[in-house]
Structure 1
Amino acid sequence: MNNVISTTTEFRDRTRVEIENLVPWDVGIQIRTIPGERFNGANVPGSRYHFDGTFHKSIYRQLTLEEVITQISLENPAFCGIDGKGSHACFRICDFELYKAAFDLPDATEYPVQLTNEEIEKLLKITDVKKFKARLDELVVTESEKFQLAIAVANYPKFDDLSFKITKLIEAKTERKFQ
């Protein structure tokens, strides 16, 4: 019988973690574990929309697993969101296994609810008003998510194709006018 050793969940403190900044603005954090960086902090660039309506993800690769775990331990909302596990956070750990390790969630089967660009695209394709409102209320909870959605909608190339009722729901949720 062959003995198989699984190393998929073994990580080192100095493992670099890819963080996606989901919001379209830069987010600064105070570095806690990297000597010499503590007072300078880190500026995680925001995702960007191009003039043609395309979206460019922002992936930051400078933080170590030790730093990410420290940020989570300090309950930094950029990582922890509203539930302490990343729900509605503006940062997403790109590697799901690292996400599970960092949050100590070995049994997790999916990421928490976060307003990713992919989720925004799926949302804006929903044409049924009741389904749209239900998904909108699930995805957009925090003030930063309202602003993030407003920026996404303003850059949405098919904005004119959205129904009047859906546009009004978005305006009510984001507290911004689009027409």
Structure 2
Amino acid sequence: MNNVMDTMTEYRDRTRVEIENLCPWSVGFKSYTIPGDGNHSVIVPGSEFAVDGTRKKSIYRQLTLEEVITQISRENSAFCGVDGKGTHAAFRICDFELYKVAFDLSDATEYPIQLTQEEIDKLLKIKEPKKFKAKMDELVVTESEKYTLAIAVSNYEHFEEISFKILQLIEKKTGRTWTEKIAGLEEK
């Protein structure tokens, strides 16, 4: 009976976990469970922007559940975010059930707050500045999220439809400006 339990645990630890890199740049970290000399690094490619300004998801499929749990236990902020449970993290575990296992959150009913492409799309559809600011403040907390939002806005297909007031709020939050881009639109 004991061998059956060990096999089940081993299988679960070796399960491949798909993670999405929410940043439009590559994120690397040291691996702790790859056999060998202990100097293995993992590089998760960043998402890419398509011609229409949408971000193509970057899904990485090479990590085992054991590695993900090890990264979480070592408090890697790319996995853990600001609260140890993935809130505002750079990576999202694509399978919600595996997310619950990795973070030992059997009662979780939804993902933590993260700046996904879907959330950026919803955010940029908000036209009322006060509602926009409240939602942006909820979604964008870390420096990497600020930079991700700035890049997303710069590549947004409907940039010219963003109100000046909303752009000012984004500029204040991210520290990036779009003066040159706005000047280019005014010339048209």
Specify the alignment match of 2:75 in structure 1.
75
29-38 vs 120-129, which moves further: 29-38
Give 3-state SS (helix, strand or coil) of 2:13's partner.
coil
What is the alpha-carbon distance in structure 1 between the residues aligned to residue 81 and residue 32 of structure 2? 19
Give 3-state SS (helix, strand or coil) of 1:151's partner.
helix
Aligned partners of 2:52 and 2:156 also within 8 Å: no
Specify the alignment match of 1:66 in structure 2.
66
Specify the alignment match of 1:41 in structure 2.
41
Q: Structure 2 length normalisation: TM-score?
A: 0.88
For residues 34-79 of structure 1, what are the alpha-carbon distances to aligned partners after superposition, in whole Å with 9 as ceiling and x for unaligned?
Answer: 1137313110000010233232100000000000000000000000
Q: Structure 1 length normalisation: TM-score?
A: 0.92
2:124 maps to 1:124:
yes
Structure having the higher helix fraction is: 2
What is the alpha-carbon distance in structure 2 between the residues aligned to residue 101 and residue 163 of structure 1? 42
What is the alpha-carbon distance in structure 2 between the residues aligned to residue 36 and residue 30 of structure 1? 13
Specify the alignment match of 1:152 in structure 2.
152
Give 3-state SS (helix, strand or coil) of 2:12's partner.
coil
What is the letter of the counterpart of residue 156 of structure 2? Y
Larger radius of gyration: 2
Specify the alignment match of 2:169 in structure 1.
169
1:87-102 correspondence to structure 2 within 5 Å: 87-102=87-102
Specify the alignment match of 1:5 in structure 2.
none
Structure 1: state its 5+ residue gaps. 1-10
Give 3-state SS (helix, strand or coil) of 1:12's partner.
helix
What is the alpha-carbon distance in structure 2 between the residues aligned to residue 71 and residue 104 of structure 1? 13
- 1:125, distance to aligned residue in structure 2 (A): 0.1
Specify the alignment match of 2:185 in structure 1.
none
Structure 2: state its 5+ residue gaps. 1-10, 180-188
> Percent identity between the aligned chains?
70
2:54 maps to 1:54:
yes
Aligned partners of 1:31 and 1:37 also within 8 Å: no
What is the alpha-carbon distance in structure 1 between the residues aligned to residue 31 and residue 61 of structure 2? 14
- Runs of 4+ residues over 6 Å off in structure 1: none
